[in-house]
Chain A
Amino acid sequence: MKLVIKNLKKNFEKKEVLKEINFEFEKGKIYGLLGRNGAGKTTLFNCLNEDLEIDSGEFYLVDTTSRKIEAEDIGYVLSTPNVPEFLTGREFLKFFIEINKNRIKDEKTIDEYFDFMKIEKDDRDKLLKDYSHGMKNKMQMLVNIIASPNILLLDEPLTSFDVVVAEEMKQMLRSIKKDHIIIFSTHIMELALDLCDEIVILNKGKLEEINKNNLNNEQFKNKIIEALKEE
């Protein structure tokens, strides 16, 4: 399965944020999306999630045939976790499982999901408003992967985790990547190099894949920085 983006353009008044995006993201890989501040990474995600109208171009899924992307195809994890604060973690999961009932293959119990995300037993029945930032982030990640969407957009999702949890999350993403197209935006180069299979940079409104070829990590890093610096 592939996510194909063709000639995608997005302007904010006269400012061309996404100029002509052409790219194909494949299932089974984690793509590290790098870009400087204000490069348009979140705008790209918002366009793919249809929170923003695009000015021109198209994007679709190709499996055996091409088809439009439906709501169920996308899970979008924001850098700032947004969870309904009046529910407990358990209730939030229960609600999500119920409204996604038809799409969940191999449904597990709520506690199994909590175990999978390493959310402590004591925290499961607390109101989400009393969760820490990192725990809210875990919940957000969990409900986004429960229904196993084909595409997972992760907008700097690991920044608020402590080192131990971040490592757990990386493991988790690696374990689920075979079933998803994962696009992971980050500012942290080491994280991108460590976790991602491909590095894609968004520079001057265009997406470009940076190939590692035979470079060692240091050389590859320099190559990425040079690409990002290009004016």
Chain B
Amino acid sequence: MIKAFITSFKLKNTYRVNSIIYSIKQLPIIRKILPNQLYKNKALKIIGNIISAIIEFCSIFIGKFLYILLMIVYMLAFYKTNQANTFLHIFTFLTFGGALLNTYMFNPTKDKYYAMIIMNMDAKKYTLSNYYYSMLKVIIGFLPFTIIFGIMMKVPLWICILMPIFVVMAKMIVSAYTLIDFKKHKIAKNENLPTKVLWVSIAILVAISYGLPIIGVTINQTIFLVIFIASAIAGLYSFFVIHRFTEYKKMYKQILTHENVYAVQNQTSTKAIKENVAKQIEFDNELTSNKKGFAYFHDLFVKRHKKILTKATKTQTVVILLIFAVVLMIVSFNKDFAVIINSILLTYLPYFVFIMYLLNRGTTVTQAMFMNCDHSMLTYRIYKTPKVILGLFKERLKTLIKVNLLPSTVIALGLPILLYITGGTDNPLNYFVLFISIIAMSIFFSVHYLVMYYLLQPYNVNTEMKSSTYKVVQVITYLVCYYMIKLKLPTISFGIATSAFCIIYSLVSLFLAYKYAPRTFKLRT
């Protein structure tokens, strides 16, 4: 088993190192300097190995640290109950929820796929050795933080030490139960496709974790100990079930399908994504078009992709309307809240940059455009002529702006109304600026995503994302929008500046798209 583990670890490390080198090779400029024989280069392999070791190390500790800090320690501030007991209480019930959602065993990962399906390794040896390793990582990863945070919250040390073991026991119980279920029904569970029952169970556990302490109910050390002992007994039994289970190969053949593996591991470069996007095509013989040429082509694309295009924004719009309704109700009853909302509307407009960023459907829509349309059409020479590229670009731009404007208009109208109801403003220009800047932001994001797609067309013929520049632009867009959350500026000046920026940016990028897209909009090689 140890041999199997070492082999699988080496395999995982090799492709992790190769992926690191590949990512380095994808960076703009660097790409041109580095040769293809890179993967032979010893120095780079060493750097890759170091980065890989750092990733492995971080995977053990960072997630657990953040989990305990953000999900438990930060939350304690909201409760008046005993801190040590509340800490234990939230930890215990979240652990049950986590055990249901995150088992390691039923997660269709690429390393399992490579090892068991492609390399045909012994499934039992591979699974058990890696499973034990992952459980060991759980204990090692949790222990320092249950001790540090536990002691800070005045939880006795011996309980802090038991806590990580409890996590492992809970995970093993779920895994063993699922294995027994597989034995009976021969249907393997993919933990990334949770059932409705599972979601409801998790919702209940989360409600118990955070809800009960509000009404002053928490477990105490004795109850934790009882739960721990019960889990330990069930956990030990589960260990034997897991260890003696013989049908790993059969089970993983079901779990590790290409679609499952790639849907999780690689969001940007997959056959699976393509398959998923293809599923979004809605066909109805009635859905046809009277238009001509590429307008006809685009019109049918829009009509057959309602799920991706219009349905999502309609849902967004309904949710936004509901939020406005709730806020309107509260402000009409609660004057203090109205004052807060009023000042937010006059100083927190930058926050809406991030909201508009989150609402914009640009990434999803351009992805669908590629996967279901351009991926095939770009192999036809006629489709790459400037006339067709720019003709379609124009149609697509109109659609994308229209799609995104639906929820945006609700926000753009809702904010000035809310401002008026919560006490208004001395400067009436504020109403106008709120409206215009939200609309401008919406158009800006639509233009931004479409122009980036046309100028950097990031995919190759195998639907793999090949442009690191495109990724960099995405990350920068996110960071800039995220940074805006922290800004507190007068609505009037920020709104005018943003609107002006959006208009100028859109004009410049449209000019660039018209000038360069006929050259840049092609399949990557």
Chain B residue contacts of A143, Cβ below 8 A:
380
Q: How far is the CA of A86 from the CA of B374 in the complex (A)?
A: 11
B501 at the interface (CB under 8 A from A): no
Given A52-B525, A95-B293, A71–B375 Cβ distance below 8 Å? no
Given A13-B36, A143-B380, A86–B522 Cβ distance below 8 Å? no
What residue in chain B is nearest A147 (Cβ atoms)?
A: B382
Q: How far is the CA of A94 from the CA of B297 in the complex (A)?
A: 9
Interface residue from A76, A82, A95, A129 paired with B375 (Cβ < 8 Å): A82
Task: Output the least CB separation between B53 and chain A (Å).
Answer: 30
Interface residue from B35, B292, B385 paired with A98 (Cβ < 8 Å): B292
User: Interface of chain B, helix or strand or loop or mixed?
Assistant: helix
What residue in chain A is nearest B462 (Cβ atoms)?
A: A80
Chain B residues 259-317 with CB under 8 Å of chain A are 278, 281, 283, 285, 288, 292-294, 296-297, 300-301, 304-305
Pairwise interchain contact A49-B293, C-beta atoms closer than 8 A: no
Query: Chain B 363-376 against A: per-residue CB contact (8 Å), 1 yes, 0 no?
Result: 00000000011011
What residue in chain A is nearest B302 (Cβ atoms)?
A: A86
Chain A residue contacts of B36, Cβ below 8 A:
12-13
Pairwise interchain contact A76-B373, C-beta atoms closer than 8 A: no
B388 at the interface (CB under 8 A from A): yes
Among A49, A74, A82, A86, the most chain B Cβ lie within 10 Å of the Cβ of A86
Chain B, interface size: which category? 20 to 34
Pairwise interchain contact B296-A84, C-beta atoms closer than 8 A: no
Chain A residues 78-126 with CB under 8 Å of chain B are 78, 82-87, 91, 94-96, 98-100, 125
Chain A residue contacts of B375, Cβ below 8 A:
82
Chain A residues 14-57 with CB under 8 Å of chain B are 14, 46, 49-52
Task: Output the least CB separation between A157 and chain B (Å).
Answer: 13
Task: Output the least CB separation between B255 and chain A (Å).
Answer: 26
Pairwise interchain contact A98-B293, C-beta atoms closer than 8 A: yes
A72 at the interface (CB under 8 A from B): yes
What residue in chain A is nearest B383 (Cβ atoms)?
A: A99
B384 at the interface (CB under 8 A from A): yes
A1 at the interface (CB under 8 A from B): no
A127 at the interface (CB under 8 A from B): yes
Query: Chain B 323-337 against A: per-residue CB contact (8 Å), 1 yes, 0 no?
Result: 000000000000000
Q: How far is the CA of A144 from the CA of B285 in the complex (A)?
A: 26
What residue in chain B is nearest A143 (Cβ atoms)?
A: B380
Q: How far is the CA of A144 from the CA of B377 in the complex (A)?
A: 12
Task: Output the least CB separation between B21 and chain A (Å).
Answer: 16
Among B288, B300, B461, the most chain A Cβ lie within 10 Å of the Cβ of B300
Given A51-B522, A98-B292, A86–B301 Cβ distance below 8 Å? yes
Q: How far is the CA of A1 from the CA of B465 in the complex (A)?
A: 40
Pairwise interchain contact A71-B384, C-beta atoms closer than 8 A: yes
Give 12 A-B pairs besides A86-B301, A99-B388 with Cβ atoms closer than 8 angstroms.
A51-B522, A51-B525, A76-B381, A82-B376, A82-B461, A85-B281, A86-B304, A87-B300, A96-B382, A99-B382, A143-B380, A147-B382
Could you give 14 example pairs across A and B, Cβ below 8 Å? Answer: A14-B35, A50-B381, A71-B382, A82-B376, A84-B373, A85-B372, A85-B376, A87-B297, A91-B288, A91-B296, A95-B294, A99-B293, A99-B388, A100-B382
